[in-house]
């Protein structure tokens, strides 16, 4: 994907549950953004390979749990002074959300090959703060959406065969209804498929890369016009 995109890609390391429960991963993602800001503020002392980057055109991206991280890191970073870094967009591929009340797509996933319901529940038990249920804001942002939501333009990608598809649709609806800043949401939900399909199907992977390229290009154009 890094080779397919018109971008420099930084992949962060972060603390893992259950030894480090949420929000540890979100905090590490924010630290990565602040590291990029430090590179932009003092290029001479930074990483040479970043000197060709445009820090005014930055995106946060994640897939599955990484998309959950990108969303929560986005909420945190938009409240910070990031200059000369400018966050232009979020790219959320099959974002991983949950909730106490089962959705129809979750109820149908007991025998799902990639994400069976029992594994889904177990991962939330291991990742959420102790004592929290799946309606915690880290898992289910739809229950109590942060107000106002001040995020840049968002791309949300999913597919019908993903047990999390109902959560993802509800998340898109929340963004569209609650974002008083008017940031656009570009949502695409494919027929069929399954969770993390791009890791198994090269054709779907290439199609995803193409959609991300288009989103990056259009978001950069919009950001340039707005400035």
114-140 pLDDT, tens digit per residue, is: 999 999 999 999 999 999 999 999 999
217 is known as an active-site residue = no
Looking at 3.20.20.100, 3.50.50.60, 3.40.50.1820, 3.40.50.720, the CATH number of the domain 24-222 comes to 3.40.50.1820
Domain ranges of the chain: 24-222
Cα–Cα distance for residue pair 200/220, rounded to 1 Å: 30
Look at residue 183 and tell me whether its pLDDT is greater than 70.
no
d(Cα 67, Cα 60) in Å, to the nearest integer?
9
Cite the DSSP H helix spans in the chain: 24-41, 65-77, 104-107, 117-127, 165-178, 202-226
pLDDT in tens, 58-106: 999 999 999 999 999 999 999 999 999 999 999 999 999 999 999 999 9
The answer to whether residue 195 is catalytic is yes
CA 83 to the chain's CA centroid: 22
Distance CA 197, CA 118 (A): 20
- Interval 153-161 mean pLDDT: 97
Give yes or no for a contact between 112 and 163, defined as CB atoms under 8 angstroms apart. yes
Catalytic residue among 112, 162, 166, 179: 162
Q: How many CB atoms lie within 10 A of CB 191?
A: 7
Is 64 one of the annotated active-site residues of the chain? yes
User: What gap in Å lies between CA 87 and CA 75, rounded to an integer?
Assistant: 11
pLDDT at residue number 76: 96
In the set 64, 105, 109, 139, the catalytic residue is: 64
Instruction: Specify the pLDDT at position 148.
Output: 77
Q: Catalytic one among 105, 136, 166, 195? A: 195
């Amino acid at each position: 994907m890094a080779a397919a995109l018109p971008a420099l890609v930084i992949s962060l390391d972060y603390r893992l549950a259950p030894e480090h429960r949420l929000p540890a991963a979100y905090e590490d993602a924010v630290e990565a953004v602040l590291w990029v800001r430090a590179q932009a503020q003092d290029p001479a002392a930074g990483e040479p390979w970043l000197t060709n980057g445009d820090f005014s055109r930055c995106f946060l991206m994640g897939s599955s749990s990484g998309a959950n991280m990108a969303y929560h890191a986005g909420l945190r970073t938009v409240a910070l002074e990031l200059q000369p870094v400018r966050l232009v967009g979020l790219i959320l591929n099959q974002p991983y959300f949950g909730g106490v009340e089962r959705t129809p797509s979750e109820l149908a996933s007991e025998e799902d090959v990639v994400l069976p319901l029992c594994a889904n529940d177990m991962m939330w038990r291991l990742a959420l703060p102790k004592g929290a249920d799946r309606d915690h804001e880290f898992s289910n942002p739809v229950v109590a959406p942060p107000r106002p939501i001040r995020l840049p333009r968002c791309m949300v990608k999913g597919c019908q065969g993903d047990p999390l598809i109902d959560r993802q649709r509800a998340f898109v609806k929340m963004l569209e209804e609650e974002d008083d800043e008017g940031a656009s949401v570009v949502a695409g939900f494919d027929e069929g498929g399954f969770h993390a399909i791009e890791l198994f199907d090269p054709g779907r992977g290439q199609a995803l890369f193409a959609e991300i390229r288009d989103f990056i290009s259009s978001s950069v154009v919009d950001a340039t016009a707005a400035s």
